Amino acid sequence: MASKHITMALAGNPNAGKTTIFNQLTGARQKVGNWAGVTVEKKEGVREHKGIQFTVVDLPGIYSLTAYSMEEVVSRDFILKEHPDVVVAVLDASNLERNLYLACQLIELNIRLVFAMNMVDMAKDKGLLIDYEQLARLLGVPIVQTVGTKGIGIEELLDKVREVVEGADSVSRHIHINYGPEIEEEIQTIKGVLKGKTPEFAARYYPRWSAIKLLENDPLVIKELASCPKGDMVLKQAEASRTHIKELFEDEADVIITEARYGFISGALKETVKLSAVAKRDMSYEIDRVLTNRLLGLPILLFFMYLLFQSTFILGEYPQSWIEAGVAFIADVMGHVLPDGLAKEMIIDGVISGVGGVVVFLPNIVILFMGISLLEDTGYMARAAFLMDRVMHLLGLHGKSFIPFVMGFGCNVSAIMAARTLESRRDRILTILLNPLMSCSARLPVYVLVAGTFFPKHAGNIIFGIYLLGVGIAVLMGRIFSKTIFRGEATPFVMELPPYRMPTFKGLIIHAWDKAKAYLQKMGGVVLVFSVIIWFLGAFPKDVPLSMDYEAAKATLEERLAQSGLSEEDSRAVKEEIANIEQKEAAERLQASYIGRIGQAIEPVIRPLGFDWKLGVSLLTGFVAKEVVVSTMGVLYQAKANEEEDLSGLQAALKKSGMTPVTALAFMAFVLIYVPCMVTIVTIWRETGSLGWAGFAISYLIVLAWIVAFGIQKIGGGIYGFVGG
């Protein structure tokens, strides 16, 4: 029967090239990482092929189908409960033994399978001669050879999937991996009890698989079975079988079963794989000798990080000035074209000041993300995890946590989701709680603005210092947390070291474009809305009691200006006075506005830090998204720099506001540490599964931010006062 619609799930080891195959299948523009477990989310895509609609679901990268990690549970649940028409296992041909381990477990599920034998070119380079046809026959699963990076074999894969769904494939048959007479006997016994006592469960999952899982002491199968009527009788039998096997082999049943699977695999490989003499030498060894060197490794890593942040600032400067000029031009045009009134005020003071203030940082963010994805795609990130293992132990974590930390410099949301690759809940929550201290790219505009204003010559170094401050505090808090709330050892550190890969230029560009698009969407959405809201709160109420009649004062001055016979000097002085009065008026109006009242209400809390109420309001709105901090400043400080809406205007306004370099430092530190953005909070909540942890993250970060900013203000104020006075 020809079906018009086929759902296929992609399963496979991390680094087997699953994401690349997924992209080739669906054309989805998304990232290919190179370290274990980049695909933590379930991704879907569609593809038309020869009149059939394929829905492709990308499952997270896994090594096994136990219930060991979240990814495994997610993948298994999808396969067992959503019943995709076909599961395509993407296998790395250059690393067959371990990849086939997962394949064996998929075979045991008794589902429709196709193996996409990926990276066949790399296997050839390694000198492996593999008889894929023979292997397919042995496994009872059709094999399609693919090279994901070049798009080879994708059409054939879809053809094969269709054949398997239609039952037209000649290779497909269900094989049993033989676990030896003793274990097979126990499997039969459990299967018998399972079918007899819990027929409903036996119908839900393939009974042989359930029996094997029960022997393996799989917590999820046990839990599900326990909720079935008479399930306890099956569990009792399973318990007895496990004890029996332990007595026989003096080893746990799950260990025996794992060894038997590997035995089966090595048997199959012996028959199908030959090693040719002409193996290309892998460059990875030479590179690793330097990059993971005991003495050189860490300095090189630090150098790369330093390079990343410096180039973010320096390279970003050029396109930044172009965008700045563009924004100024638009503001100028709008100023002339639009009729005076509220709408004009809103567009120029709200939208252009707010959004324009933030959009100039687009180049910095794109460069930062490109740098991070370069580290990932080349495979360097896994080396960094290795190098940082000892450092991460200081935080009570191990090297693998370093990856979410580095990703945090891009965006805490994706970084917190990447923490799923950590096996233990303790490591995961600790990594998540510390992650907001990794300064995300949305905070970068604040630093670029403030550091650029107050430390124009050393902005790059100051910003690098702020990032280091975040890391330092993370180490400190990690130590405190792992000695108090999270006592106990970090789980063992096991990770695959992928071979180095040359990142493709196209991939980098696609990735950069993705980030730019996301950033611009944020500008058009959240930042735009909040700029208008902030403008509104700042512009209303209109009829506030003023300390003097500004209009009258202005009118008198303007009259004087209109008089003829004023010397040039005099007329300039009068003009200045008008500007002064206008500024005073605007400042007074702002203070009396809604936002001024909110700002003054919170001012007592931030006064000790040296922040005025405008900074306070900016921080408050930054909770929505960190970019909004700058756009709010753009709108609020506007009052003093009405003529120049561009960034240098904002910089000038900040300087005039009485902010000292010390306050600037305290402010940057505060922005670094205090509450992460809303989306991050929601992600923490989702990933930890508890509102409590999200609340804890908010409160400890706010308190910490206050303490650090206060410290900087006190210490720095002392030094500054001493040097300056």
Partner 1 sequence: MYLSDVKNGAIATVKHIDSGCEMYRRILELGIFPGTRLKILQNVPEGPVIFEKNGSKMILGRGMAQKIRVE
Contacts with partner 1 by CB under 8 A lie at: 63-64, 66, 68, 94-95, 97-98, 101, 126, 252, 254-255, 258-259, 262, 282, 284-285, 288, 292, 294, 382, 385-386, 389-390, 398-399, 423, 489-499
Question: Distance between CA atoms of 707 and 701, rounded to whole angstroms?
Answer: 10
User: Closest CB to partner 1 among 101 and 481?
Assistant: 101
Question: Distance between CA atoms of 338 and 343, rounded to whole angstroms?
Answer: 8
Give me the least distance between CB of 254 and partner 1, in Å please: 6
Give me the least distance between CB of 93 and partner 1, in Å please: 12
Give me the least distance between CB of 255 and partner 1, in Å please: 6
User: Closest CB to partner 1 among 83 and 280?
Assistant: 280
Give me the least distance between CB of 48 and partner 1, in Å please: 36
Give me the least distance between CB of 115 and partner 1, in Å please: 18
User: Closest CB to partner 1 among 137 and 420?
Assistant: 420
What is the amino acid identity at position 502? M
Helix (H) or strand (E) holding 463: helix 459-483
User: Closest CB to partner 1 among 207 and 297?
Assistant: 297
User: Closest CB to partner 1 among 163 and 496?
Assistant: 496
Give Cα separations from 78 to 42, 112, 355, 371 (angstroms). Answer: 10, 14, 42, 34
User: Closest CB to partner 1 among 196 and 488?
Assistant: 488
Give me the least distance between CB of 704 and partner 1, in Å please: 29
User: Closest CB to partner 1 among 460 and 498?
Assistant: 498
Give me the least distance between CB of 382 and partner 1, in Å please: 7
User: Closest CB to partner 1 among 292 and 621?
Assistant: 292
User: Closest CB to partner 1 among 255 and 509?
Assistant: 255
Give me the least distance between CB of 499 and partner 1, in Å please: 8
Cα dihedral across residues 210, 212, 214, 216: positive or negative: negative
User: Closest CB to partner 1 among 67 and 619?
Assistant: 67
Give me the least distance between CB of 644 and partner 1, in Å please: 54
Question: Distance between CA atoms of 354 and 331, rounded to whole angstroms?
Answer: 12
Phi first, then psi, for residue 673 (nearest 5°) are -95, -40
Instruction: Cis check for the bond before 503: say yes or no (omega within 30 of 0).
Output: no
Question: Distance between CA atoms of 189 and 175, rounded to whole angstroms?
Answer: 19
CA 719 to chain centre: 39
User: Closest CB to partner 1 among 301 and 463?
Assistant: 301
Give me the least distance between CB of 233 and partner 1, in Å please: 25
Tokens of 107: 């075979």
Phi first, then psi, for residue 598 (nearest 5°) are -60, -45
Question: Distance between CA atoms of 356 and 89, rounded to whole angstroms?
Answer: 47
Tokens of 553: 């004062």
Question: Distance between CA atoms of 26 and 539, rounded to whole angstroms?
Answer: 49
Closest CA to 129 of 88, 94, 157: 94
CA 116 to chain centre: 28
The length of the chain, given as a count of residues: 725
User: Closest CB to partner 1 among 341 and 492?
Assistant: 492
Evaluate whether 701 touches 707 at the Cβ level (below 8 Å).
no
User: Closest CB to partner 1 among 95 and 118?
Assistant: 95
User: Closest CB to partner 1 among 133 and 251?
Assistant: 251
Closest CA to 69 of 379, 408, 385, 400: 400
Helix (H) or strand (E) holding 652: helix 647-656
User: Closest CB to partner 1 among 391 and 566?
Assistant: 391
Give me the least distance between CB of 321 and partner 1, in Å please: 44
Give me the least distance between CB of 529 and partner 1, in Å please: 46
Question: Distance between CA atoms of 628 and 626, rounded to whole angstroms?
Answer: 5
Give Cα separations from 239 to 217, 236, 253, 725 (angstroms). Answer: 9, 5, 11, 80
Please list, in sequence order, all residues whose beta carbon lies within 8 angstroms of the beta carbon of residue 721, skipping any fewer than 6 positions away.
none
Full 3-state SS string of 329-390: HHHHHHHHHCCCCHHHHHHHHHHHHHHHHHHCCHHHHHHHHHHHHHHHHHCHHHHHHHHCHH
Tokens of 21: 């195959």
Helix (H) or strand (E) holding 12: strand 5-12
Give me the least distance between CB of 252 and partner 1, in Å please: 6
Give me the least distance between CB of 216 and partner 1, in Å please: 8
User: Closest CB to partner 1 among 160 and 242?
Assistant: 242
Give me the least distance between CB of 194 and partner 1, in Å please: 23
Strand partners, 144: 116
Give me the least distance between CB of 494 and partner 1, in Å please: 6
User: Closest CB to partner 1 among 393 and 554?
Assistant: 393
Beta-carbon-side half-sphere exposure of residue 620 (alpha carbons within 13 Å):
19
Give me the least distance between CB of 493 and partner 1, in Å please: 3
The pairing of strands 52-58 and 43-49 is: antiparallel
Give me the least distance between CB of 258 and partner 1, in Å please: 4
Full 3-state SS string of 116-158: EEECHHHHHHCCEEECHHHHHHHHCCCEEECEHHHCECHHHHH
Give Cα separations from 602 to 588, 614, 615 (angstroms). Answer: 18, 10, 11
Which strands sit side by side in the sheet containing 113-118, from one edge to the other? 43-49, 52-58, 5-12, 86-92, 113-118, 143-145
Question: Distance between CA atoms of 466 and 573, rounded to whole angstroms?
Answer: 43
Evaluate whether 444 touches 460 at the Cβ level (below 8 Å).
no
Please list, in sequence order, all residues whose beta carbon lies within 8 angstroms of the beta carbon of residue 503, skipping any fewer than 6 positions away.
373, 374, 377, 378
User: Closest CB to partner 1 among 73 and 171?
Assistant: 73
